[in-house]
């Protein structure tokens, strides 16, 4: 997910997206524990997407709009 796409979303959409990504991350971690996960890199990309969304949410809180 690109940063420009994230910045176009409003706060409620961002919160919903974080929730969905956290669910997906949970499922991937469960698959990894069982040994069914094929691409381990997907976990890191989802974690980075969550961090990007939290950064944009914080920008909204501080009033920093780019």
pLDDT, tens only, 4-62:
999 999 999 999 999 999 999 999 999 999 999 999 999 999 999 999 999 999 999 99
pTM across the whole model: 0.91
- Give the domain range for residue 21: 3-62
The whole-angstrom separation of Cα 14 and Cα 5 is 11
- We report the CATH number of the domain holding residue 21 as 1.10.287.310
The whole-angstrom separation of Cα 3 and Cα 34 is 32
The full length of the chain comes to 66
Count of the separate structural domains present in the chain: 1
The whole-angstrom separation of Cα 37 and Cα 47 is 16
Q: What are the C-alpha distances in Å from 46 to residues 37, 65, 66?
A: 14, 24, 23
Q: What angle do CA 16, 52, 59 make, to 5 degrees?
A: 85
């Amino acid at each position: 997910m690109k940063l420009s796409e994230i910045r176009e979303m409003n706060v409620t959409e961002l919160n919903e997206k974080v929730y969905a990504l956290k669910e997906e991350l949970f499922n991937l971690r469960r698959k990894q524990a069982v040994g069914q996960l094929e691409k381990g890199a997907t976990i890191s990309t989802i974690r980075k997407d969550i961090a990007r969304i939290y950064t944009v949410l914080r920008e909204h809180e501080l009033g920093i709009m780019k």
